Each structure stands twice: as C-alpha cells, then as structure tokens.
C-alpha cells in the first residue's frame, strides 16, 4: 500500500485564529495528498452575505435565526479551485469584502446558523468519505464540534504581528496596525461567543507558524497526515 492509500477517507481538522494560515495550509495539504478541501469560514461568510443582501439586521439574532434555512449554500471542494455559491450565484469575491468581514462574527454567533452549517459540513465530510476521498476541513470549531474524532487535529497559531503582516500583504494595504486591530476584534468575538467558540484543546497539535514558510507548514502537516495514515493501515 502507498502513503496515499493510507490517507483514503482521512479527515484532517484544522482550527486557529484569523490569518494563522488555515486556508493556505489546508489547500496545500489537500493538493499534496489528493484530498478534498472544505473552507467552513466561507460558509459563514456566504450566509452573512445573503443576510446583508436581503437587508437583514445581522445584530438581531432572532431575525438571522428565522431566515437561516432560506439560502442554498453550496461548496466545491476541489483544493485547486474551491467554489462557494449562494442560490446558484458565485459569491467567492463578495464574501471577502469589508461588509461581510465586519458582520460575519455576529452571524456565526447565532446558534441556529451554527446548527445548520455544522450539519451541512458533516454531510460534505461524509460524502467525501463515501467516495474514499479524504478531506481537509478548516475553521474555528472543526476539532471540537464538527469532526472531534478526526485522526489529525491541528490548532494553527502565529503571532498577531505575523498574522497582520501576512494579511496586509495579501490585501495590499500598508496599514498593518488597522489590519492587526481587525484580526484582534474578530478573534475576540470568535473566542468569546457562547456557542462553539474558537477553543484550543489538549488533543489538537499546536503548530506555531510564526517563523515558518507556508511550504514548511504544509510539509509538517503532510508528515502528520502520512503518519496517521500509516497508523490506520497498521
């Protein structure tokens, strides 16, 4: 059996704060080992986009809760070309805008929104496993709620300064301080909400990526995945 065979049906769960490198790492690992990829943050962003597009006050949890079932959110899990659609419309660009980023923590704190999206995320994971494909899933509650039984569980971190520098470079802003403040704002909301807050648990391997290149981080995670695959084969 090859290393790839050991990874068949594997679930790699990655959590961590904003800008720690979850999406880039998850995509790189999925590409390296021919796995599927699920960006759960994009699902919360897609739901938020729909709420804003329909004029819903996202600070009104009851209003959000009443409408969560309305949009049809679909995720494409090819790590080289992930997609996100709402009611058939490609919203990949819109969900990265300031309005959605400013409102997504409020929507993701609504229990009905979480229940719905966690259910959908588990369905995507099961579909991948039925096809014998493994999947890398990243977000804030993957190791704790969505897939706590995953054989590989990681908590990615990086210093606030490193995360702000990386994100500023990505969005081409020189205002690193403002970027750092926005990351801190979202981390605080995501870690302090009542339902499924971002939490680091003892059974998830912490990976501090501050001094590491993206390729180095991907290499470390691939190694962990291969070791878990070999243990599954033994």
Ligand X SMILES: Nc1ncnc2c1ncn2[C@@H]1O[C@H](COP(=O)(O)OP(=O)(O)OP(=O)(O)O)[C@@H](O)[C@H]1O
Nearest CB to ligand X, comparing residues 4 and 192 = 192
Torsional sign, CA 119, 124, 130, 132? negative
Beta bridge partners of 207: 156
CA distances from 63 to 68, 113, 195 (A): 9, 11, 18
Site residues for ligand LCLUPRNS, window 196-225 (CB under 6 A)?
none
Residue 141 lies near ligand LCLUPRNS (rule: CB under 6 A): yes
CB of 210 to ligand LCLUPRNS, least distance (A): 19
219 is in an annotated binding site: no
Site residues for ligand X, window 189-218 (CB under 6 A)?
209, 212-214, 217
Residue 21 lies near ligand X (rule: CB under 6 A): yes
Site pattern 150..189 for ligand X (x: CB under 6 A): ----------------xx--x-------------------
Binder among 30, 46, 47, 104 for ligand LCLUPRNS (CB under 6 A): 104
Residue 186 lies near ligand LCLUPRNS (rule: CB under 6 A): yes
- Residue 212 binding partner per list ligand LCLUPRNS, ligand X, none, with a CB distance cut-off of 5 to 8 Å that depends on partner kind: ligand X
23 is in an annotated binding site: yes
CA distances from 73 to 5, 23, 89 (A): 31, 19, 9
71 is in an annotated binding site: no
- Residue least distant from ligand X (Cβ): 21
Which residues sit in the known binding site? Answer: 16-24
Contact set with ligand LCLUPRNS (CB under 6 A): 18, 40-41, 44-45, 104-105, 108, 139-142, 186, 190
Q: Contact positions toward ligand X, by CB under 6 A?
A: 16, 18-24, 41, 166-167, 170, 209, 212-214, 217
Give the residue numbers of the binding site for ATP. Answer: 16-24
């Amino acid at each position: 059996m090859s290393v790839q065979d050991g990874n068949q049906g594997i679930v790699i769960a990655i959590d961590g704060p904003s800008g720690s490198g979850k999406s880039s790492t998850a995509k790189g690992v999925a590409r390296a080992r021919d796995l599927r990829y699920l960006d759960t943050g994009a699902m919360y962003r897609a739901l938020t986009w729909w709420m804003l597009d329909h004029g819903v006050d996202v600070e009104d949890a009851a209003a959000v809760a009443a409408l969560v079932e309305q949009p049809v959110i679909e995720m494409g899990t090819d790590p080289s070309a992930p997609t996100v659609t709402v009611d058939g419309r490609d919203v990949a660009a819109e969900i990265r805008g300031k309005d959605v980023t400013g409102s997504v923590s409020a929507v993701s704190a609504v229990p009905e929104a979480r229940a719905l999206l966690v259910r959908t995320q588990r369905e995507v994971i099961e579909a991948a496993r039925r096809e014998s494909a493994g999947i890398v899933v990243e977000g804030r509650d993957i190791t704790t709620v969505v897939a706590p039984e995953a054989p590989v569980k990681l908590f990615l971190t990086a210093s606030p300064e490193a995360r702000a520098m990386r994100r500023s470079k990505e969005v081409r802003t020189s205002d690193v301080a403002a970027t750092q403040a926005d990351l801190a704002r979202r981390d605080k909301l995501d870690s302090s909400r009542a339902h499924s807050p971002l939490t680091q648990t003892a059974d998830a391997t912490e990976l501090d990526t501050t001094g590491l290149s993206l390729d180095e981080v991907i290499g470390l995670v691939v190694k962990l995945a291969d070791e878990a695959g070999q243990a599954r084969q033994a």
